[in-house]
Amino acid sequence: MFSLERWEEIFDTIRKNKLRTFLTGVSVASGIFILVILLGVSTGMQNGVQSQFQRDAANRISVWTGVTSVEYKGLNPGRRIQLKNRDYDLADRKYQDQLEYKSALYRIWGGLINYKNESGNYRVEGVLPDYQFLESATLTDGRYINYSDNDEYRKVAVIGKKVYNDLFKDKKSAVNKFIEIRGVLFKVIGVYTDPGGEREEARVFVPLKTSQKVFGAGEDLGGLAFTLPQEENFDQAVKTSQEFTAKLAKQLKESHTIAPEDESAIRISNSLENMKTVYDMMRNIRLFFWFVGIATILAGVVGVSNIMLIIVKERTKEIGIRKALGAQPLSVIGMILHESVFVTTIAGFFGLLLGMLLLEFVGPMVETDFISNPTVNFQVAITTVIILIFAGAIAGFFPAWKAARIKPIVALRDE
Amino acid sequence: MIEIKDLHKSYKTGASSLHVLKGINFSVKEGELVSIMGSSGSGKSTLLNILGMLDEADEGTYTLDNFPIKNLNEKVAAKYRNKFLGFIFQSFNLINYKSALDNVALPLYYQGVGRKERMDKSFAYLEKVGLADWAHHLPNELSGGQKQRVAIARALASDPKVLLADEPTGALDTKTSYEVMDLIQGINDEGKTILVVTHEDDIAHMTKRIVNLKDGVIIDDSRVNQVRAIENV
């Protein structure tokens, strides 16, 4: 099977039949190439969607308010609902055992911030210590807000990396420096980064009570944020968080005298629930790509066997001659299979290489939110090439076998 | 060398069957040059195919060099063909993407002869048929007569017991035909057993014995005075 003589014979045949070899090669190489690109784009989409969801804690539940849309107990619709400290305290007390992280927050939109000669407008939020984890923030310098900061109304601030880059041009540590927020001096205690990127890092956090006092908010809150502890089972986690969300909504609606069916007064977004939708979608996308990929491979296999059939047909006479000269059936099968497997292998790896090179060099240049870093698992790609070669050999075996059974007398009959 | 007794062969065509060979008894001794003649449909090609193990008889016995040729599977048939027989066809049947030399070397490849020896031997046979200068040409660069010479060299390459030629001059003009026959006569003079199927009288008379076939039976089998082809070129 692997004798030098056979190889010489194969190379001879390939050299003398360049077009045929080229066509077989192109069909195999393009199949693999398309598959690699598909798998790459599929991975890229997955990466893209995943990075969109890394901004905040994956299981975050956020509450904010709007205006009522339904008349209830004599109250007119169009009433603005304002969350108060007691709403948070009640939820905290009631669900203490169920909650992992929790925070109330108060927002000041467009807080003008000065440091020395630099200034900028950033979102300022009054938050509780847990908020760091609700935001998936990581500190690069200093510390986050703690409970004593809050209880003692300390004027301290944690600033985002973008704020730091904008204001602290000297690149020295911002910790213990004083910044002015709406004319009030705050001491910087930490700098954070956020996987959500610049938009999420253009913010300043201060203790909740400090913010309410300094900016004259009284007992008002801008929103609530919670996470529930992680659970092993994703579906179970979704169910638990949905139950919690429902209870929380019911309680808030009761205390603010809102109709139970009013969807616009109390808004609750459940990341986990959203994530489930996205994961389902992503799974479907992946399935779709696999389907297309497998169909492509099938088309490749059909293409290879088709070409093999034509080759055998074209070589019928030659096979007849070879048999008349003493070629044994097995040697005929071997010759045809050996040649086809050799051509498919070379072409398959060429297509693989081309696809991977394209992903390698063009992949990083793709700049959209939905595709990032399209790569292909090398092992998967190699496996597909091997499958294709194997399938090609199987598909080629039957024509070869048929060829081996051709009676030389039939093959040699003059037309 | 060849012993045939009571050979029958029929082909099925739809419902009816066509009885092509109706009891052939025939033997060839070593060193003979025999022509098998007959009109088309007389069964001469069928007989040659059976002799060449390309086809099998329905009845009767066939012995080649004391080997009974019966119920051969493909593998053994291929081995025997390679060892005992050399074929020369009307349409040459060269492999068109292989050079003359490679074509001649093919039977040796299937005998498992090493490359170096194979090429040397093949070249010697090409020299013998006068085509040493054309060794590296492809068949389509050769004339009809040259192609048939390559085919003859190829048939000789495996040093077979018997050469079987099916209308070897059928596709050639008279002059070239005689040149090819001259070559065949030369090979026979060296002692090789050769069977030639032909329907041309002049070609048949260049052999030493003519077997006449008609409707599947031998109607005449007689020795003739061999006409040397070279005299007519």
Domains in chain B (CATH in brackets) are 29-58+73-231 (3.40.50.300)
A23 & A94 share domain: no
A148 & A284 share domain: no
3-class DSSP assignment, residue A40:
helix
**In the beta sheet, which residues pair with residue B19?**
B10
In a 10 Å sphere around its CB, with 0-12 CB exposed, 13-18 middle and 19+ buried, how is residue B150 labelled? buried
- A294 CA to chain B: closest CA distance, Å? 37
A313 & A239 share domain: no
Q: At what angle do helices A271-314 and A378-405 cross, to 10 degrees?
A: 30
Q: Which of B88, B20, B19, B42 is nearest to B199 (CA)?
A: B42
Interface of A with B in 302-341 (CB under 8 A): 317-318, 320-331
DSSP structural state of residue B133: G
In this complex, do A5 and B109 lie within 8 Å of one another by their Cβ atoms? yes
A130 & A214 share domain: yes
Q: Which of B9, B72, B93, B116 to mutate to test the interface with A (most CBs of A within 10 A)?
A: B93
Nearest CB partner across the interface for A409, out of B49, B90, B94: B49
Q: For chains A and B, what is the number of CB pairs under 8 angstroms?
A: 69
Per CB-CB distance under 8 Å, the chain A contacts of B115 are 4-5, 8
CA A319 and chain centroid, separation: 54
Question: Taking the CB of residue B71, how many other CB atoms lie within 10 A of it?
Answer: 8
Q: For position A55, what pLDDT does the model report?
A: 64
- B110-156 per-position pLDDT tens digit: 888 888 999 999 999 999 999 999 999 999 999 999 999 999 999 99
Q: Within A191-270, where are the H helices?
A: 198-201, 208-214, 234-255
Q: Which of A316, A322, A325 to mutate to test the interface with B (most CBs of B within 10 A)?
A: A325
In this complex, do A318 and B95 lie within 8 Å of one another by their Cβ atoms? yes
A38 & A69 share domain: no
- E strand or H helix at B42, and its extent? none
In this complex, do A409 and B54 lie within 8 Å of one another by their Cβ atoms? yes
In this complex, do B93 and A409 lie within 8 Å of one another by their Cβ atoms? no
- CA count, 13 A, side-chain hemisphere, A406: 28
**ipTM, 2 dp:** 0.89
Q: Give CA–CA dist A360/A375, Å, rounded.
A: 7
Q: Give CA–CA dist A298/A392, Å, rounded.
A: 10
Q: For position B135, what pLDDT does the model report?
A: 92
A254 & A147 share domain: yes
Structural domain total, chain A: 2
Which residues form the domain of A184? Answer: 60-269
Contact in structure between B20 and B205 (CB atoms under 8 Å)? no
Q: Which of A311, A339, A325 is nearest to A402 (CA)?
A: A311
**In the beta sheet, which residues pair with residue A302?**
none
Per CB-CB distance under 8 Å, the chain B contacts of A317 are 93
A289 & A348 share domain: yes
From first to last of the 415 residues of chain A, give the pLDDT tens digit. 456 777 877 787 788 778 878 887 888 888 888 888 888 888 888 777 777 666 666 788 899 998 988 888 888 888 888 999 999 999 889 888 888 899 999 988 778 899 988 899 999 999 999 999 888 888 999 999 999 999 999 999 999 999 999 999 888 888 999 999 988 999 999 999 988 778 888 999 999 999 999 888 888 999 999 988 877 777 888 888 888 999 999 999 988 888 888 888 888 888 888 777 877 887 888 888 878 877 877 777 777 777 778 778 878 888 888 888 888 888 888 888 888 788 888 888 898 889 888 888 887 777 666 677 777 777 877 887 788 778 778 877 887 888 788 777 777 765 4
In a 10 Å sphere around its CB, with 0-12 CB exposed, 13-18 middle and 19+ buried, how is residue A402 labelled? middle
> Of A269, A301, A318, which one is at a domain's C-terminal end?
A269
Q: Give CA–CA dist B94/B82, Å, rounded.
A: 16
A208 & A173 share domain: yes
Mean pLDDT, to the nearest integer, of B14-39? 90
DSSP string over A312-330? HHHTHHHHHHHHHTT--HH
Q: For position A391, what pLDDT does the model report?
A: 76
In this complex, do A326 and B78 lie within 8 Å of one another by their Cβ atoms? yes
Residues 6+ apart with CB under 8 A from A77: A67, A68, A69, A70, A71
Q: For position A60, what pLDDT does the model report?
A: 86
Nearest CB partner across the interface for B93, out of A17, A326, A412: A412
A300 & A348 share domain: yes
A73 & A44 share domain: no
**In the beta sheet, which residues pair with residue A205?**
A125, A158
A235 & A295 share domain: no
Q: Give CA–CA dist A7/A19, Å, rounded.
A: 19
DSSP string over B90-132? TT----TTS-HHHHHHHHHHHHT--HHHHHHHHHHHHHHTT-G
Contact in structure between B195 and B4 (CB atoms under 8 Å)? no
DSSP structural state of residue A67: B
A32 & A83 share domain: no
In this complex, do B97 and A13 lie within 8 Å of one another by their Cβ atoms? yes
> Of A234, A269, A304, which one is at a domain's C-terminal end?
A269
In this complex, do B93 and A324 lie within 8 Å of one another by their Cβ atoms? yes
Q: For position A332, what pLDDT does the model report?
A: 85
> Of A220, A243, A269, which one is at a domain's C-terminal end?
A269
Q: CA-CA distances (angstroms) from residue A119 to A167, A181, A196, A201, A343?
A: 6, 10, 23, 16, 67
- B147-184 per-position pLDDT tens digit: 999 999 999 998 999 999 988 998 889 999 999 999 99
DSSP string over A77-88? S-PBP-EEHHHH
